[in-house]
Amino acid sequence: MTAPLIVGAMVRTLGAYPSGWRHPGAHADPAGDAAVLRQVARLAEDADLDYLFFGDWLATGPDLEFRDPYLLARVDPLSAVLHLSAVTERIGLIATVNTTYADPYATARATASLDVLTGGRGGVNLVTGAEPRAAANHGRDVHADNASRYDRADEFVRALRLLWESWDEGAWVADREAGVLIDPDRLRTAAFAGTEVRVEGPLNVARPPQGHPPIVHAGTSPRSRALAAAEADLALIAAGDPAAAAATRTELRALAEAAGRDPDDLKVIVPVLPVVAETDAAARAIVDRLLLLVPIDDGVSGHALRAGFPANRSLGAFLDLAGAPDDDASRRAGIDDAVPAGAAGRFGEAAGRVLDLVIARTGRRLGGEHPVTWRHLVAAAAVPANFVVGGSGAIADHFELWRDAGAADGFNVLSAFQPAQFEAFTTLAAPELRRRGLLGRSGATLRERLSLGAPRPVHARALAG
């Protein structure tokens, strides 16, 4: 019998789609994030999801309002998981740490503490950073190049594991009669001195219940793939179709085996953005509304005058994509005019794909009473998203298709807006996933839920070498 998929929730309180916060009833003020986080955690645990995942971004600016509003102001991920540790009992809690700027001892201390406080439900997502503005926020002139960042990340992971191994099993004796609290021979220093990272240890937190909390990593560069294959328990990848994902998964598993690991201990996770409703038609209506709420340069709203407004959000930009000549009549159309079939017939391949996606995801057609408008096409092209749209059956079909194609070991579920869309996923789609055997793993710790083998001790590897 095939094991259920790994299913986690990638939590973005302002929603994963840039116009999601504008949807009626959606959470729109990060000052109220705490209540939303608790609600999401309760929904996720009741649905028997495997973990909550919190990403990070170490800077902000007005451009993020249009590109990724959820990054403008957000709770620190370690703070978020520690907050939720007190209101959850079973679900895993994964926080992101940027190895370019973080201190390995402080990271080891915080993540070991999370694991102790949750009884083995902690995990850490290690990233190297992609935001140049983060450098100035950490007292540096420039953001390090890719090679330097991964040199440090490699050493950071080794230091982290050594610190987690500070206390052997049985090191804590607590013999009241003999007056012996610890066995000092079972307390180790890290004594790690690399080119980028130095740390002595031991760690002043008890041994993590999982030994090593699961490590997550995402990236596309060769160095990133190598780090994921050698060190990660979950590798997050992005792929547009099952065939591409399956190829990446095969590559990562081969790299893991070449690094001396059991490839089954590396789980490949892909993102999914389900828009869920009671019926397929109701779900398509939500996508339609999200597209209409994307701020675009319509010549009236004044959005184009705002700082950081993207240049591709205009009818002219879409028609450039479509290959329309400068004198094309479409360039004089109103943004909310219906798209004529004749104009659509002249679209190039890229614009044609956008049109097909709008039709499939919104239920609109060329012409008729419910036509595709230019606004829909501009929004869909400028703010692309791999929506999976429909009722519970459509969502479960997507999960099943990717599993059967060998494309993924699991999914990170994103929600276009909070909390209603996540509630729809957990109350409508999750029961169908469970009925089909796609959801519902077991295990007292996060490592056990992810079906990971015992962690490979770094001390033992060093002695063997």
**Sign of the C-alpha dihedral computed for residues 55, 288, 39 and 50 taken in this order:** negative
Cα–Cα dist 174/184, whole Å: 12
Taking the CB of residue 62, how many other CB atoms lie within 10 A of it?
Answer: 11
Contacting residues for 448 by C-beta, under 8 A, at least 6 apart: 442
Ligand-binding annotation for 166, yes or no, is no
**Maximum Cα–Cα distance across the chain:** 93
Q: Annotation-wise, does 96 bind a ligand? A: yes
133, 137, 139, 145 alpha-carbon torsion, rounded to 10°: -30
**Alpha carbon 244 to its chain's center:** 18
Instruction: Say if residues 139 and 176 touch (Cβ distance below 8 Å).
Output: no
With 0-12 / 13-18 / 19 or more C-beta atoms within 10 angstroms meaning exposed / middle / buried, residue 465 is exposed
Burial 75-105 (b: 16+ CB within 10 A, else e): bebbebbbbbbeebebbbbbbbbbbbbbebb
Determine whether the annotation assigns residue 224 to a binding site. no
Is 17 known as a binding-site position?
A: no
- Cα–Cα distance for residue pair 76/54, rounded to 1 Å: 9
**Burial class of 241 by CB neighbour count within 10 A (0 to 12, 13 to 18, 19+):** exposed
Taking CA atoms, 257 is separated from 253, 262, 301, 439, in Å, by: 6, 6, 55, 27
Binding-site residue ranges: 56, 96, 150, 221
Binding-site residue ranges for FMN: 56, 96, 150, 221
